[in-house]
Amino acid sequence: MFRENTDHLQTEFFNTVEGLPEKEKKRLADSWAQTFYTELFCRIDETPFAELYSGIYSRPNTPVNILAGIEILKAGYGWSDEELYEAFLFNLQVRYALGLRTLGEGNFELRTLYNFRARVSVHMRESGENLYDQLFS
């Protein structure tokens, strides 16, 4: 079932970022990760992707803005899928850029990304519509 991700707008009081010394928090807030978060991640329109999901209530899915954001980072850095996944799991700047403030929060299996890509690809093949073109509409 599709649900827009707004969790990143309300962070937990105790999180990895808040546990950093002030100097490191400022450095993180002044890094590319903050720019990516505010200028790209927060502007991702997830609604065009809703049709890829069942309307039946089911377990929570990995948010579209995280999956799309991670694809943007992959393309920008030229990462392989394994490098991308490792960066997602362990790189605090990558997680910060994707609205995640705690290591271990929002983790998913790599096959989740493969399944998402497959659904987007099938949708494009069947409808001729590239959902990634609508990310920032």
For the chain, give every domain's residue range. 7-134
pLDDT of 13 higher than 60: no
DSSP string covering the chain: ------GGGS--SS-TTTTS-HHHHHHHHTSHHHHHHHHTGGG---GGGGGGS-SS--SPPPPHHHHHHHHHHHHHHT--HHHHHHHHHH-HHHHHHTT--STTTT---HHHHHHHHHHHHHHHHHH---GGGGTT-
Q: Model's pTM, two decimal places?
A: 0.84
Mean pLDDT computed over every residue of the chain: 88
Q: Which residue has the higher pLDDT, 27 or 3?
A: 27
pLDDT tens, position by position, 40-50: 999 999 999 98
